[in-house]
């Protein structure tokens, strides 16, 4: 049988259409997009879920330094701070810890000129209208006063004695709650003893009285 060019074109066209139809039938389906879950509303009010502690620090009093010493600047010998902690759940812990921490700047007795750009002397010195300024070198002296008491004692007082020749004191308060997990005791040496706190309660060491 003789097949002309027109017939061959028709056959190729039909074959292409069948291939396209087959591909469309076997193409994978695109999965439907899942719906986002609805937001769940809460009925808790801010007052019910707020557990942040509120801490306030106040300078209550100062104690003057050495009486009769002449100075152009009145620098106190010690400072009396009070710390109040609020918004505590009394059932959250057994003890309330309040640590008063400070860092004092104390002169070392040495002086230096200060470069505008550390490591680059060509940049010049820190200066005022008189020229390069001489700076006193300071060291940092740290201190910590700890107070661990019953959780009901939310008002604490701290007597901060300044290190000698202090220029400046930076301070802050650390607050923590402590819940007891039980107590135990191991005895290694059995004998009569008394603690230093108990010795202080009785007014010191009591000497032996010979009869």
191-209: per-residue pLDDT in tens? 888 999 999 999 999 988 7
Q: Locate tokens 């940049």: which residue?
A: 123
Find the mean pLDDT for residues 60-86. 79
| 19 lies in some domain | no
pLDDT digits (tens, 9 = 90+) for 152-195: 999 999 999 988 888 999 999 999 999 988 889 999 998 888 99
pLDDT digits (tens, 9 = 90+) for 44-56: 433 343 468 899 9
| 155 lies in some domain | yes
DSSP label at residue 35: P
| 196 lies in some domain | no
| 20 lies in some domain | no
Number of domains, the chain: 1
Distance, in Å, from the CA atom of 118 to the CA atom of 114, rounded to the nearest integer, reads 8
- For residue 26, what pLDDT band results from cuts at 50, 70 and 90? very low
| 63 lies in some domain | yes
> pTM of this prediction?
0.60
Q: Does pLDDT of 36 surpass 90?
A: no
Residue 202 φ/ψ region, left for φ over 0, alpha for ψ in the -120 to 50 degree band, beta for the rest: alpha
| 21 lies in some domain | no
Does residue 103 contact residue 138 with C-beta atoms inside 8 Å?
no
Its domain, for residue 59, covers 48-181
| 30 lies in some domain | no
């Amino acid at each position: 049988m003789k097949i002309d060019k027109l017939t061959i074109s028709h056959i190729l066209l039909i074959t292409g259409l069948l291939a396209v139809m087959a591909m469309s039938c076997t193409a994978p389906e695109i999965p439907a997009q899942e719906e986002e879950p609805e937001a769940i509303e809460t009925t808790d009010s801010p007052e019910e879920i707020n557990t942040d502690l509120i801490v306030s620090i106040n300078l209550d009093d100062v104690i003057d330094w050495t009486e009769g010493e002449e100075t152009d600047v009145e620098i106190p010998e010690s400072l009396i701070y009070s710390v109040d902690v609020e918004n505590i759940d009394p059932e959250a812990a057994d003890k309330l810890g309040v640590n008063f921490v400070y860092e004092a700047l104390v002169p070392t007795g040495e002086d230096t000129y200060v470069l505008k750009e550390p490591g680059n002397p060509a940049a010049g010195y820190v200066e005022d209208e008189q020229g390069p300024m001489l700076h006193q070198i300071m060291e940092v002296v740290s201190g910590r006063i700890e107070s661990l008491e019953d959780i009901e004692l939310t008002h604490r007082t701290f007597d901060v004695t300044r290190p000698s020749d202090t220029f400046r004191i930076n301070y802050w308060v650390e607050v923590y709650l402590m819940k007891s997990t039980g107590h135990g005791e191991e005895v290694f040496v059995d004998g009569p003893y008394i603690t230093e706190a108990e010795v202080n309660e009785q007014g010191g060491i009591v000497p032996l009285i010979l009869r």
